[in-house]
Structure 1
Amino acid sequence: MVGAPPVCKFGWKAPGFALPGVDGRRYRYEDIAGPKGTLVMFICNHCPYVLKALDRIIRDAAELTALGIGVVAISANDAEAYPQDGFAQMKALATERGFAFPYLFDESQGVARAYGAACTPDFFGFDASGGLQYRGRLEGPQPQAGLAEPRRELYEAMKQVAETGHGPREQFPAMGCSIKWKAG
């Protein structure tokens, strides 16, 4: 099922968290926060939207880290109903793809709910003080004839946040598979 989140509520404060990472460490928002801002991504292992864009997500995360943006990915899908999103499978994907950012498991789904995450991938870009500046998609629509790749909207927005502390006023919501919430 396809989900699309609401657009950015500028200045909304990042909720804290303490979640286990696939590297065996426990991470809090403060551990991830970069000096120029922070990118919190909700992804999962099985979503075709995430898998199709994963190379570009990894590339953008590395380039944003170099600009002083802290980056983290969180999976909140119900791993009982979707075993391919389980912790062991998350660890395997992070190792196989060489994630240079922490990949955390939100088993209770409390963090995803606190953020209002709606789909995978879902991107939340915060300024250095933890105020939301970007809630949008990874990239623009597929390129038209003659263009090599889609416009890198997430990267450009977070680069702007790193340089100015403010995100772009025009943002387009992310689109992807809905978060797989637990029943009840």
Structure 2
Amino acid sequence: MQGLRVPNAPQWRIAVIQGPNMSALGKRDPGLFGSVRSLEDLNDQLDGFAAKIDVELRHFSSNIEGEILNFIHYSDDVDAFMINPAGLTMLGMATRDALLDSGRPYLEVHFANLAQWFSTSGTPDAKSIFSHGASGVMEGLRHHGYVGGMLALTLALDDQSFLGKTARTNTHRKES
């Protein structure tokens, strides 16, 4: 992965948040969720890729919105968030507001293409309430979207003309 990032890029800290129902990963429709056997399996894959691009991940998963809120509120040591709101996608306004209030960029990620998912689930007009405030959205690529999203978010943090300028105000990160 040499050469993907700018020379002397800092090691960013990204919190990966998994919302309600993600703890059942591996027990859900393999046509939609692919070969990932468990949330731990997904986290291991993400940690492996993060090490290749010199990113530190902090994982959090909960089926309870209040626990997710507390995690966001007390994550002052991260530069950005990646969140799969899962069961909160249409209704998690408090979580969305906490992410916006954090002042840090966040990437929304989903295994499924939401437009396709909503149309087949009988809610074709449904929308994610997270997307409008997100720095980016990655969906429909199963677990591969997390890897692509992590790379894109990292490169965006490196880019001072985009997200990096804001993220660089955090003083806890270590320079490579």
> Normalising TM by the smaller chain, what interval?
0.3 to 0.5
More helix by share: 2
Bigger relative contact order, structure 1 or 2, given CA contacts below 8 A and separation 6+? 1
Q: Report the TM-score when normalising by structure 1.
A: 0.34
